Amino acid sequence: MGVCSIEDVLFPGIDVRLEGVSVTAAVLFVDAAASGQPPSCPGCRWRGRRVHSTYRRRLSERPLGGQRLVVRLRVRRFFCDRKSCGRRTSVEQVDRLTEPHRRASLGLKEWLTTVSAELGGRAGERLCRKLHLSAGRTRLLELLEEPPVPERAPRVLGVDEFAFRRGRRYGTILVDVETGRVVDVLPDRTSETFAAWLTAHPGAEIICRDRASAYTKAVKQAAPDALEVADRWHLLQNLSAALEKTCHQHCSCLRKRLDDEAPTEAEDPPEPILVDLPPPALPKTAMVERTRHRHTDVHRLLDQGWTISAIARHLGLDRKTVRRFKDTDLDLLLASARDRRPDGVLEPLKPYLNSRFAAGCTSGTRLFREIAERGYRGSVQVVRKHLAALRAGTTEPARAAAPSPRKVTSWIMRDRDRLSADEVEQLDQVRLACPDIARACDLARVFRDLVRNRRGQLLLDWIRQAEQDGPGPIRRFAGFLRQDLDAVTAGLTLVWSSGIVEGHVNRVKTIKRAMYGRASFRLLRIRILTRLEPTRPSNSSQSWPLICRESPSKNS
């Protein structure tokens, strides 16, 4: 490694001659002059020969040694000797250093553009202050230019929705699945907007999507020859939802089985004998009453012929909430509303409290002391609240703890060798307690095997089995698969999926949170489409090394 000059450090490979360096307390000034070939006239491309005049430009550069750097560059103005050209003079531009009407070098512009694309306005401004760069949020955002959208759609196109405001406004993101690049961002998720984009950008042969019907309608309208591929992750998610609904419908089977098999433990001193309390009545809480009224309103409007979307707009609810009130029994909804009250650490000791209360001990303080000796770490107010519920008859008798529907679903959706011995034992008890859950478990595991091994040719046989003897939610899931049979079969056969699209949706969420929801759709779209590729260090994008002289190396 030889000795390098200061010109090689400041202007590597650039046609610039160093004239002097001056240092102040805050700024490092570098005086230089352009020394390249005469430029061509921008109007007629005639190369200039005669110098008209010279003047100095002040260019902000990247910091050097933690200090601001300003280049005072002397450039030449040339005559245009071509009589037919409307321009009389033109100023030379230094390649890789300057561009017209900009007071920053191209290297600094590249830095600021990177900061703006990654962080945005205010956050980028704060980082620039730390890096000794003079750039406000407005200047940073002005550097972002809208990338061009290709005229033709990619061969394998991925489409998915993302939320501007969850439950209110949604947009659509389009991704080239083969390269992983975002192609375009649409302002809504309607079928008309997506169909118009497909018409204006033909060429998509394979379209990866989720189960959204709007995208299916647009594909059939604007790209009927394209092969639709349903995403495998969404299929497993829909299966998991059907399993959880099945477990919800058969919670009574699980509790009855576990209550019958609950062992009685003898302790010294012996525990009081458990007694049956009167059947509980639902507490008149705000949550229970609101659930009851909402169920009534939804079914009243359904009986009048209203659609789910119209009901959601009328009641101010999400469509998923309306669909849940439509498809779920009132008893399950009320039980869910009642179970929202936190049980806390008192739940394991409720059998003892219930039996002592039935035996005549109703003092909250005394019972609190007794259960505190048995490991209770909560407050006395929780005990008194439970005793008040016992007096009012609004609490349930203590019963054996049954696994939640979500937990049972997670056991079924995981491989058996990934479950602990205790989880395997509990899942076997659940299967013995309810034949419908056992059948749903068998069907779910077969379908999961079809998805993971991409055995789409066996999908129709699975649908027939599920429709023949599967529980209600599993039969409805199979019916949905039959309605979208071609796309689901392609998803279980081909290698393509929407995984890369979901990754970009997560990136959109990160950008939105960094922008605090205060930016326009245009700026959000630019930041989503602007993807800066990592580049190797080069002379044109160097980071101002401070060591210029030859230094010994351990490897030399």
Instruction: State residue 28 phi and psi, 5-degree precision.
Output: -105, 115
SS3 string, 68-129, reads: EEEEEEEEEEEECCCCCCCCCEEECCCCCCCCCCCCECHHHHHHHHHHHHHHCCHHHHHHHH
Record the pTM. Answer: 0.63
**Residues 60 and 108 sit within 8 Å (Cβ to Cβ):** yes
The residue-averaged pLDDT of 162-173 equals 88
**Residues 440 and 471 sit within 8 Å (Cβ to Cβ):** yes
Checking if the pLDDT of 120 tops 50, the result is: yes
Q: pLDDT confidence of 249, banded at 50, 70, 90? A: confident
| Lookup: tokens for 212 | 């959204």
Residue range 60-72, pLDDT digits in tens: 888 887 888 999 9
Average pLDDT, the chain: 82
How far from the centroid of its chain's Cα atoms is residue 96's Cα?
A: 38
Please give the Cα distance from 129 to 125 (Å, whole number): 6
pLDDT at 119: 83
**Residues 440 and 470 sit within 8 Å (Cβ to Cβ):** yes
CA distance readout (Å), 239 to 232, 506, 520, 526, 546 = 11, 23, 37, 36, 60
The percentage of the chain sitting over the pLDDT mark of 90, rounded to a whole number, equals 29
pLDDT at 540: 39
The residue-averaged pLDDT of 520-535 equals 76
Q: How many CB atoms lie within 10 A of CB 286?
A: 8
CA distance readout (Å), 67 to 33, 37, 50, 102, 429 = 22, 32, 38, 21, 71
The residue-averaged pLDDT of 343-357 equals 75
Q: pLDDT confidence of 171, banded at 50, 70, 90? A: very high
Checking if the pLDDT of 274 tops 50, the result is: no
Instruction: State residue 43 phi and psi, 5-degree precision.
Output: -85, -45
The residue-averaged pLDDT of 114-133 equals 85
Checking if the pLDDT of 447 tops 50, the result is: yes
| Lookup: tokens for 2 | 């030889």
| Lookup: tokens for 28 | 């490092």
The residue-averaged pLDDT of 22-43 equals 89
**Residues 467 and 483 sit within 8 Å (Cβ to Cβ):** no
The percentage of the chain sitting over the pLDDT mark of 70, rounded to a whole number, equals 85
Q: Report which residue type is found at 346.
A: L
pLDDT at 137: 84
Residue range 178-187, pLDDT digits in tens: 998 999 999 9
Please give the Cα distance from 118 to 144 (Å, whole number): 11
The number of residues in the chain equals 556
Q: What is the CA angle 408-409-412, rounded to 5?
A: 90
**Residues 150 and 183 sit within 8 Å (Cβ to Cβ):** yes
Residue predicted with more confidence, 483 or 288: 483
| Lookup: tokens for 438 | 């056992």
Name the one residue in this structure whose structure tokens are 């479950």: 419
pLDDT at 392: 77
pLDDT at 339: 52
Closest CA to 537 of 545, 549, 548: 545
CA distance readout (Å), 151 to 204, 207, 237, 495 = 12, 17, 35, 26
Residue range 292-331, pLDDT digits in tens: 888 888 999 999 989 999 998 888 888 888 998 988 888 7
pLDDT at 72: 93
Please give the Cα distance from 101 to 335 (Å, whole number): 69
Ordered domains of the chain (ranges, CATH): 16-103 (no CATH), 109-142 (no CATH), 156-231+497-529 (3.30.420.10), 266-392 (no CATH), 403-482 (no CATH)
Closest CA to 477 of 140, 243, 263, 285: 243
| Lookup: tokens for 209 | 């999507």
| 202 prior amide bond cis, ω within 30 | no
Would you give the DSSP letter of residue 47?
B
Closest CA to 231 of 163, 159, 171: 159
**Residues 447 and 231 sit within 8 Å (Cβ to Cβ):** no
Q: How many CB atoms lie within 10 A of CB 113?
A: 16
Please state which of the ranges 111-125, 384-398, 440-454 shows the lowest mean pLDDT.
384-398
Please state which of the ranges 3-7, 392-396, 504-508, 522-526 shows the lowest mean pLDDT.
392-396
Residue range 368-412, pLDDT digits in tens: 888 888 878 788 888 888 888 888 776 655 555 567 888 889 999
Quote the strand ranges of 217-335, DSSP E: 227-230
Q: pLDDT confidence of 333, banded at 50, 70, 90? A: confident
Please give the Cα distance from 7 to 46 (Å, whole number): 31
